[in-house]
Structure 1
């Protein structure tokens, strides 16, 4: 299963691969060169297909848990000052996605979308300390009965040139469902109330819509 945001890229990649295979088969007589070109074209198509894959995951909705919004590695767990929306200290958890990770963004919790804003910006590497403030990004705040207001931020990386965000202010969203997509390497930051019990550790691999990153009774 592939994500709908990949439809155009997959179509163009398929057409390109087909043309390369056809032309190389008819106009290149050097066997090793023909094989090299055809293999390269097929590898490119495979990379496009794996990047836009969208594995089906059914989350069990739980008001007392926050699920990882994306696949990737937990690279930050720290107390920080969040200056865009809360303007106070929050507990930040950051998940870094490499190009080989699934790049679907899922809602980590159910609730009401209170804030949703897109920011154009730079394309620093996703793990850069200033990426959260200077890169292209979207900021979304969901109000949840158990956790109160939780902010998550989709951040573009050095290769990412397009962030897709489906959250709109006033929407009721459901935990684990499709929230958007980030093309190529990128990061998602989650900002939780101070004192929230955390279920993950640094360098742990998270699975979007499955891994529980925080709980609250």
Structure 2
């Protein structure tokens, strides 16, 4: 287990603040032992919560050009046929994975190919499971064209707590299935838009692991 690079700065700042807080309590309230213990316990708990949020487990990814892998750890909250209106402008199967604050928040490329389209959208911070969050929240949209010309669109969506989306891709970049393409801080969601002939392999309520769980299988 390692710590994700996106957490280094926040963890360092949090550690410094918590150390100063505890030193201050010990210096200015030397006789209030109960208070000292409470502050120390809360500080350790708070720091461990942040630490676990930025964990980055090592995983062995098995690539398969017919599989669309889960882009994140979380829970499947949407499986439906819908009209994708930003770029593809066609009917697609949408699968949405919701990430709670306790999930690993690295985002993984569901397929390999070339980034045909990428765009960042500033927006609102509705709760990630809100029906309009996919269109109104802060988000990024990425379209990867596979070697067989199938295009897969996936979208990072910020939630009510997540107010910073990080991405590592740009148009024209070649990406590999299972590699990291971004990170969302503190609770969020990722939507994947599949061709209508894709065979969905998950159901509502299923738990996913990024780069491990197969969301769908594409036809030969």
TM-align CA RMSD: 1.1
Aligned to 1:33: 35
CA deviations on 1:75-120 (whole Å, 9 max, x unpaired) are 0000001100111110000000001111000111111000110000
Is 2:111 the partner of 1:78? no
Q: Which runs of 4+ in 1 moved over 6 A?
A: none
CA deviations on 1:148-207 (whole Å, 9 max, x unpaired) are 000000000001110001111111111111111000111000000012001111100000
CA distance in structure 1 between the aligned counterparts of 2:27 and 2:48, rounded to whole angstroms: 23
SS of 2:55's equivalent in the other structure is coil
Mapping for residues 54-133 of structure 1, pairs under 5 Å: 54-133=56-135
SS of 2:27's equivalent in the other structure is helix
In the superposition, the TM-score normalised over structure 2's length comes to 0.96
Structure 2 unmatched ranges of 5 or more: none
Q: Count how many residue pairs are aligned between Structure 1 and Structure 2.
A: 217
CA distance in structure 2 between the aligned counterparts of 1:72 and 1:7, rounded to whole angstroms: 23
In the superposition, the TM-score normalised over structure 1's length comes to 0.97
Structure 1 unmatched ranges of 5 or more: none
CA distance in structure 2 between the aligned counterparts of 1:146 and 1:53, rounded to whole angstroms: 35
Aligned to 1:12: 13
